[in-house]
Structure 1
Amino acid sequence: MPPIPNRRVLFNEIPPADGYPIPGKTTVYDTSAEIDLENAPLSKDSILVKVICLSLDPYMRSRMRKPDVPGYVPPFILHEPISGHGVSVVLRSRNPHFKEGAHVRGFMDFAEYCIIEGDGFPMQSLILLKNDLQLPWSLYVGILGVPGRTAVFGWREYVKPKARGVAFITTGAGAVGSLVIQLAKRDGMKVIASAGTDDKVNFMNELGADVAFNYHTNSTKDILREHGPLDVYWDNVGGEVLDLALENAAFSASFVECGMITTYNSTNAYPFKNMFNIISKNIQINGFLTRTLLEKHEEEFLQIIPKMVGDGELKYREDITSGLANTGSALLDLLTGKNTGKSIVIVNEGNSIGRFPKSVM
């Protein structure tokens, strides 16, 4: 078989710190590369995979920086493919843990095909997917992937649910927030949830939120004053909303700092006014990285969550983009809040869909 095209998404230019990535400029869709699937050399323990689907996540914005700027995740390399979590099928293998035909989840290039070397972090991140329930592969970068683990791990580790207590969840229609709403309701809490469109508000209502509101057309300050005080605050936005949550916190409230998307495209620090409430209200604040809780909570997650998704007990939405060519626009939509649910790029659609569970919306 002669070499075939291997289309990719390259990191082309570092965007300004106070701006959004520009499709076609920050990232570019490259069609020049080729790959010989039968003869491309594989080093020891390496595998060649065909990429099925890829996850778009807010943290990817922080990787679009200069190499000498520190960060909690490594920067993208200029003129090389961007990377992220994805699901692939193994075409060739020199790794005894991943046989040909196996499906894997982990870090991989935004490309139709890629070689995952045996001695680096991407290989260390790979997990063999069994998918006994025959669920869509895309779920393994969403509710059954890192976003689902983020919600479940963070809730189990840092939240002490109080029956009839009040939880406030920001970006409640996103991949993480939508699951946190459901976890809070299952623990008997009253849920306030915010998002930026009326469609997202409808979705949050479907998930069971007691007070779902569009923060563009409603005052967050007024909503929290009316429906608080807050026993739990799940923060995905930071900035002014975090300050309002501090103002309206109950005594001994739990704050879970999961993300701060309002700061990802700006260097302007928000002038907090209510920080002393952390002391005066005995507020417990925890930030976390999902990987630090993996060993403690992974077994429970695998035993419980996939079956709940397959049985329709947990609901989700997917914001699907078809084809690598549209990655840049989809990432911009994510960072500007235009997506609902998990943002996913389908690369090779023929392998991406299993049996849809009843929970798809």
Structure 2
Amino acid sequence: MAPVINGRLLFNQLPNGLPEPGKTTVYDTCETIDLETAPLNGGILVKTLVLSIDPYLRGRMRDPSIKSYAPPFLPSQPLDNYGVGLVLRSERSSFKQGDHIYGRLPFQQYIVMPAAAAEQYTVLNNDTGLPWTAYVGICGMPGQTAHHGWREFSKVKAGETVFVTSAAGPVGATVIQIAKADGLKVIASAGSDEKVAFIKSLGADVAFNYKTENTREVLAREGPIDVYWDGVGGETFEAAIGAASVGARFIECGMITAYNGGEPYYVKNLLYIVGKQLRISGFIVTSLHQAHLSHFYETFPKLVKEGKIKYKEDVTKGLEHAGHVIVDVLTGRNKGKSVILVGEE
């Protein structure tokens, strides 16, 4: 077989504010690969099928000297994130041709994975027959974030009230459904009337557009809140503190208002954390895998297949469009879990 183009999305330069496709990220088609003869050296050859686009990718577009929980992207190297790939060839006994694997994949069409690196990937069973895109969304890292964080930190009792932000996103939308199954009243916010309609369809008792309704007024009317699921931070975090009941649990999984620079919002009522005896828990999903991942895979794909947990996807075909989709996610223009369809089986 003649060599084929191996398209890649490269990290080109540090952004100032929002990333700019063509500057921050560049789609490159200079590399080729012969799929039949490329040496594997004991590893595996993988074709990328789908890649996830998530807000936290912005935090990895930083100077390497700045420390964080996720490693920075390196100049002139492909971005990477959670994805699903198809094993085309294998020299590892733990993988066979035709296996589908899940884990962090570089943003490129084909990857030769060294033996040691290959072992970090999970072979997906998918006996429910869900589309592979689901395994980077509701049955992947976003779904795991909702599942793990809720099980670990919510400590709920039926009849309590939860406030969910970024509620139309893949994490928030899943939290709504978990909370309703646990018997909670759900207050949820999103940034457009279309998204508000979506979160209402998931069962939110109170759904509002934070751009046209005042969050503090809604919480004053519908609260107090016993659990706060935070994906935005800033002024909304401050409003949640003000509306919290004594002993409320704050689950901090993201702060998108701080991702793109600009003047930070300084929360003015932090003293209430003491007086209200709030429990504030920040977490990274991978730190909770040992306690909760087995339960997730045992239960979530089945619930999704049965329609007991619903989800919405925003699928874009073509790796060359990934830079634009990252911006869409950071500005809220996506209308579901953003996924890049890189290749067909």
TM-score class, shorter: over 0.9
Name the SS for the 1:330 alignment partner: helix
Q: Which residue, out of 290, 303, 310, partners 1:295? A: 290
CA distance in 1 between partners of 2:335 and 2:231 (Å): 15
Q: Which residue, out of 6, 15, 28, partners 1:30? A: 28
Q: What is the 5 A alignment of 1:150-165? A: 150-165=145-160
1:193 corresponds to which letter in structure 2?
A
Name the SS for the 2:237 alignment partner: helix
CA shift for structure 1 position 341? 2.1
CA distance in 1 between partners of 2:268 and 2:340 (Å): 40
CA shift for structure 1 position 29? 1.1
Q: 2:318 aligns to what?
A: 323
Does 1:213 pair with 2:208? yes
Point out the more displaced range, 231-240 or 7-16: 7-16
Does 1:66 pair with 2:63? yes
Q: What is the 5 A alignment of 1:23-102? A: 23-44=21-42, 46-102=43-99
2:106 corresponds to which letter in structure 1?
D
2:15 corresponds to which letter in structure 1?
P
Name the SS for the 2:116 alignment partner: coil
Name the SS for the 2:208 alignment partner: strand
2:338 corresponds to which letter in structure 1?
S
CA distance in 1 between partners of 2:4 and 2:323 (Å): 23
CA distance in 2 between partners of 1:125 and 1:42 (Å): 17
Q: 2:279 aligns to what?
A: 284
Does 1:345 pair with 2:343? no
Q: What is the 5 A alignment of 1:11-30? A: 11-16=11-16, 19-30=17-28
Does 1:178 pair with 2:173? yes
CA shift for structure 1 position 267? 4.9
User: TM-score scaled by structure 1?
Assistant: 0.94
CA shift for structure 1 position 124? 4.7
Q: 2:199 aligns to what?
A: 204
1:214 corresponds to which letter in structure 2?
N
User: TM-score scaled by structure 2?
Assistant: 0.98
Over aligned residue pairs, what C-alpha RMSD do you find?
1.1
2:281 corresponds to which letter in structure 1?
N
Query: Does the 8 Å contact 1:178/1:341 carry over to 2?
Result: no
Query: Does the 8 Å contact 1:195/1:201 carry over to 2?
Result: yes
Runs of at least 4 residues off by over 6 Å: none
| Residue ranges of structure 2 left out of the alignment (5+ in a row) | none
Q: 1:251 aligns to what?
A: 246
Query: Does the 8 Å contact 1:162/1:231 carry over to 2?
Result: no
Q: 2:112 aligns to what?
A: 115
Name the SS for the 1:293 alignment partner: helix
CA distance in 2 between partners of 1:332 and 1:118 (Å): 34
- Residues 191-239 of structure 1: per-residue CA shift (max 9 Å, x gap): 0100101110000000000111111111111101111111000000011
Point out the more displaced range, 173-182 or 87-96: 87-96
Q: What is the 5 A alignment of 1:299-318? A: 299-318=294-313
2:294 corresponds to which letter in structure 1?
E
1:195 corresponds to which letter in structure 2?
A
CA shift for structure 1 position 325? 1.2
CA distance in 1 between partners of 2:166 and 2:317 (Å): 24
CA distance in 2 between partners of 1:280 and 1:297 (Å): 32
Name the SS for the 2:45 alignment partner: strand
Does 1:235 pair with 2:230? yes
Q: Which residue, out of 123, 130, 133, partners 1:128? A: 123
CA distance in 2 between partners of 1:344 and 1:329 (Å): 12
| Residue ranges of structure 1 left out of the alignment (5+ in a row) | 352-361
Question: Across the two proteins, how many residue pairs are aligned to each other?
Answer: 345
2:10 corresponds to which letter in structure 1?
L
Name the SS for the 2:247 alignment partner: strand
CA distance in 1 between partners of 2:9 and 2:77 (Å): 8
CA shift for structure 1 position 117? 2.1
CA shift for structure 1 position 292? 1.1
Name the SS for the 1:76 alignment partner: coil
